[in-house]
Amino acid sequence: MLTLAYLGPTGTYTEAAAIAYCNWLERSCGGQGKLVPYPSISQTLEALLTRTCDLAVIPIENSIQGSVTVSLDTFWEKEHLQVQQALVLPIHHALISRGGALDEIKTVYSHPQALAQCQHWLERQLPQVSLHSTNSTAEALQYLQDDTVGAIASERAAQLYDLPILAHAINDHRDNCTRFWVVRAGEGDSPLPQAPGRSYLSLAFSLPQNAPGALLNPLQVLANYGINMTRIESRPTKRLLGEYLFFVDVEAPEDEGDLGEAIAHLREFTEILKVFGSYTVLAVDPSPSE
């Protein structure tokens, strides 16, 4: 049985993604998974690196608020992290409270991404509330001690903790979804299967110097090999102000030889190059309770 670490506690969207992956794994190859929650993304990945678990599930990007920066930063800082599978999960937020009406709510807790994804709804419906960040949406439920406190989490979380929902589907954009990575430790071929579909490759690199054409050179390598880039994002190197590293997702070419040559050429124009592995994307169609 595989042990999967995930951003907890029970009731988070990451747990829903981990459950969906376990269900797919069981259907595809009969594998079974045991879920273990951790209080932060960095601790979730650390459990993987210390071999406390076999896989880790972390959020990587939201369709509205963009990348989960702590996930990207930890991936860059740690060694031997490889993406096994990506999952895309629809996100539908609910306002959960022991209070009986919206006008009773004075304080709302949730993960910063969830608060941002419901920003306009909160401004319209609860303009005077005080907003407070938590490590996860499910952790926010721990603060529901009186009728003046609300939390933003999933409908599934409210059901798990037997808490009333004041409003549902409060996210500002109906097609809100989050991409998660199932992560393994170590390089090389994984014994686990991947969902069928187009393969993608994720990598990150820093540049040898801040000079004209420094970023163009590695991007030109991808173009020369006909490799389609689907995402690029910069993050501070944390060394000098104005110095950045770049996270890139590409569509993996059918010819693995071309990919290997392209990566070899990329190394010529980068200071540090990290390849996080190739994977497919599993679209999750959760039940209404999730």
**Total tally of structural domains belonging to the chain:** 3
**Per-residue pLDDT, 283:** 85
Short-list 31, 41, 38, 168, CA closest to 96: 168
Residues 231 and 155 grouped into a single domain = no
Residues 41 and 182 grouped into a single domain = yes
**Per-residue pLDDT, 254:** 79
DSSP 3-state assignment of 172? coil
Residues 16 and 113 grouped into a single domain = no
DSSP 3-state assignment of 25? helix
In a domain, 215, yes or no: yes
Domain limits for position 268? 200-278
Residues 26 and 141 grouped into a single domain = no
**Cα separation, 104 vs 106, whole angstroms:** 6
Residues 6 and 85 grouped into a single domain = yes
CATH code of the domain covering residue 98? 3.40.190.10
Residues 184 and 54 grouped into a single domain = yes
Of the listed ranges 1-5, 108-112, 286-290, the least confidently predicted one is 286-290
Residues 76 and 181 grouped into a single domain = yes
**Cα separation, 152 vs 137, whole angstroms:** 6
Residues 38 and 180 grouped into a single domain = yes
> What mean pLDDT comes out for the span 119-144?
96
* Dihedral sign of CA atoms 216, 222, 228, 229 in order: negative
Q: Where are the alpha helices (DSSP H) in the chain?
A: 13-29, 41-49, 69-77, 112-117, 119-125, 155-160, 216-224, 256-268
Residues 70 and 184 grouped into a single domain = yes
| pLDDT tens, residue by residue, 2-26 | 999 999 999 999 999 999 999 999 9
Residues 18 and 80 grouped into a single domain = yes
Residue 92 has pLDDT above 90, yes or no: yes
The two tokens of residue 31 are 């594998």
pLDDT band at 117 (very low <50, low <70, confident <90, very high): very high
Contacts 24+ apart (CB under 8 A), 223-226: 224/262, 224/265, 225/253, 225/258, 225/259, 225/261, 225/262, 226/253, 226/258
**Per-residue pLDDT, 290:** 36
Residues 66 and 183 grouped into a single domain = yes
In a domain, 227, yes or no: yes
| pLDDT tens, residue by residue, 190-222 | 668 999 999 999 999 999 988 888 999 999 999
> What mean pLDDT comes out for the span 99-128?
95
Residues 55 and 125 grouped into a single domain = no
In a domain, 12, yes or no: yes
DSSP states along 127-140: TTPEEEE-SSTTGG
**Per-residue pLDDT, 189:** 53
In a domain, 195, yes or no: no
In a domain, 290, yes or no: no
